[in-house]
Structure 1
Amino acid sequence: MQKSVALAYVLWFFLGYLGIHRMYCGRVGSGVAMLALTVFGMLTMSIVVGHLLMMIVGIWWLIDLFLTAGMAGSTWRR
């Protein structure tokens, strides 16, 4: 079933760092991984590890700007 690309981008923009847009598009595993990195990064923000994890999530979020349309538009699921 095809998902709404517009809704996927709204979720990406507002909740992308939590991986919600990936879960909506059917990529539950990577969405949960993104959520876990964000939560663990926030909890360890007082040490260097948290900043590194949040940087990784931020880069992943930006890369998803280009991948979200394909994830939402495809009928094939991984």
Structure 2
Amino acid sequence: MRGQVLGVDTRTGDGIVAGEDGRRYGFRPADWAARGEPAVGMEVDFEIENNRALSIFPVPGTVPARPHGYGTEPLHNDRNKLVAALLAFFIGVFGVHRFYLGRIGTGVLMLVLTCTLVGVLVTGPWALIDMIRYLIMSDREFAARYARD
């Protein structure tokens, strides 16, 4: 059946397709059978099982019908990835960057581990890896992952 992608949750990858039969079908990231990601307005071809779309492929030669400017603006986020990266670099062994991003549990774990000599050997590389991840992560992904609920 053919249809159009109505929406995709950026956090989970779950989405909804409107079929040409007028019904809506849910899908999960594993149901997407093509390279890339589904986009709102994209024409797709899919199989149906109950109320679920399976084996979803974009229709070749079609372009997603998006409202003007849709998807070009970054998601709103009150946290800054550069600030998080700088915190991770300079005082990351204490887990401050984790507290800044709302990851309280791992922030406390890093703080407790830093109190031991062996723990510093763990939290140092951990903070460095976090810093690199923040810097190479897209603004959209950072906003989706670390936005306040």
TM-score, normalisation: structure 1: 0.67
Residues of 2 paired with 1:9 and 1:53: CA distance?
21
Q: Match of 1:66?
A: 132
Question: What are structure 1's unaligned runs of at least 5 residues?
Answer: 42-49
Residue 104 of structure 2 corresponds to residue 38 of structure 1: no
Residues of 1 paired with 2:105 and 2:88: CA distance?
16
Q: CA deviation at 1:72?
A: 4.9
Q: CA deviation at 1:55?
A: 1.0
Q: Match of 2:82?
A: 6
- Name the stretch that deviates more: 22-31 or 61-70: 61-70
Q: CA deviation at 1:62?
A: 2.1
SS at match of 1:36: helix
Matched-pair contact (CA < 8 Å) for 1:8–1:72: no
Q: Give 1:65's aligned amino acid.
A: M
SS at match of 1:65: helix
**Higher strand content, 1 or 2:** 2
**Higher helix content, 1 or 2:** 1
Q: Which has the higher contact order (CA 8 A, sep 6+)?
A: 1
SS at match of 2:89: helix
Residues of 2 paired with 1:62 and 1:14: CA distance?
9
Given the superposition, is the C-alpha separation of residues 59 and 13 from structure 1 closer, same or farther in structure 2, using an over 3 Å criterion? Answer: closer
Given the superposition, is the C-alpha separation of residues 7 and 36 from structure 1 closer, same or farther in structure 2, using an over 3 Å criterion? Answer: same
What is the root-mean-square deviation in Å for CA atoms of aligned residues? Answer: 2.4
> Sequence identity, in percent?
34
- Name the stretch that deviates more: 28-37 or 4-13: 4-13
**Off by >6 Å, runs of 4+ in structure 1:** none
TM-score, normalisation: structure 2: 0.39
